[in-house]
Amino acid sequence: MAQQLARTLRRLPTPEALTGAVVHGFGRGSAQLGFPTANLEIDWTDGAKAPAAQRIRNFVDTHDTGIYAAWAQVADGDDSGIYKAAVSVGWNPHFGDLERKTVEAWLLHDFAADFYGRTLRLLVVGYVRPELKFDSLDGLVAAIRADGDFVERELGDAPEDDDGFFVASA
């Protein structure tokens, strides 16, 4: 059932460049689902913020919740490669216990180590599908795997218009 989920890549008018710290979530990604997701720090306070924090807030406040396709880089980590990522934005309705939206990126790459506290750069290029509640955990797991396959297939070899957003690798 989950595999029949309709996916299209709806390109954003201009890619969204998001830069923020990787924070801890519920620890559910790897443990329960088998997919680690790097959760982006979001500043929920009102008032003035640094430009990067403001950009993340604007993104979650104005964009549809759902699954997005992105390019991603842990610029200050041991592995600063630029990789494709399937990004979940919203409420994780399958679990239904979030008090705030999250932005979580599953980078389609095997990292040798965790990168909590590092800076994640996300260039969000398109919308894939809405977030859903599934009949079972297996349904959600199958959908996430298929999202990864979809993003892997739909994005090219390298970001086309990153405008110098990604930091050059050493």
Question: Which residues belong to the active site?
Answer: 104
What is the residue-wise DSSP string for 53-65?
Answer: HHHHHHHHHHSPS
Q: Smallest gap, in angstroms, from Cβ of residue 117 to Mg ion?
A: 14
* Residue in 152, 27, 16, 158 with CA at minimum distance from that of residue 89: 16
Count of C-beta atoms within a 10 Å radius of residue 105: 24
Among 95, 109, 117, 135, binds ligand RBF (CB under 6 A): 95
Binding segment toward ligand RBF, per CB under 6 A, in 20-28, 53-61, 71-79, 157-165: 20-28
Q: Binding mask 92-131 vs Mg ion (x if CB under 5 A, - otherwise)?
A: ------------x---------------------------
Residue 132 partner contact from Mg ion, ligand ADP, ligand RBF, none using kind-dependent CB cut-offs of 5 to 8 Å: ligand RBF
Is the CA virtual torsion 56, 77, 38, 154 positive or negative?
A: positive
Count of C-beta atoms within a 10 Å radius of residue 80: 16
CA angle 1, 63, 60 (to 5 degrees): 105
29 near Mg ion, judged by CB under 5 A? yes
Which residue is listed with tokens 């994005």?
155
Q: Binding mask 109-138 vs ligand RBF (x if CB under 6 A, - otherwise)?
A: ----------------------xx------
**Do 35 and 144 contact (CB within 8 A), yes or no?**
yes
Q: Smallest gap, in angstroms, from Cβ of residue 68 to Mg ion?
A: 15
Q: Binding mask 29-48 vs ligand RBF (x if CB under 6 A, - otherwise)?
A: x---x-x-x-----------
Paired with 4 in beta bridges are none
Q: Give the interface with Mg ion as residue ranges (CB under 5 A).
A: 25, 29, 37, 39, 104
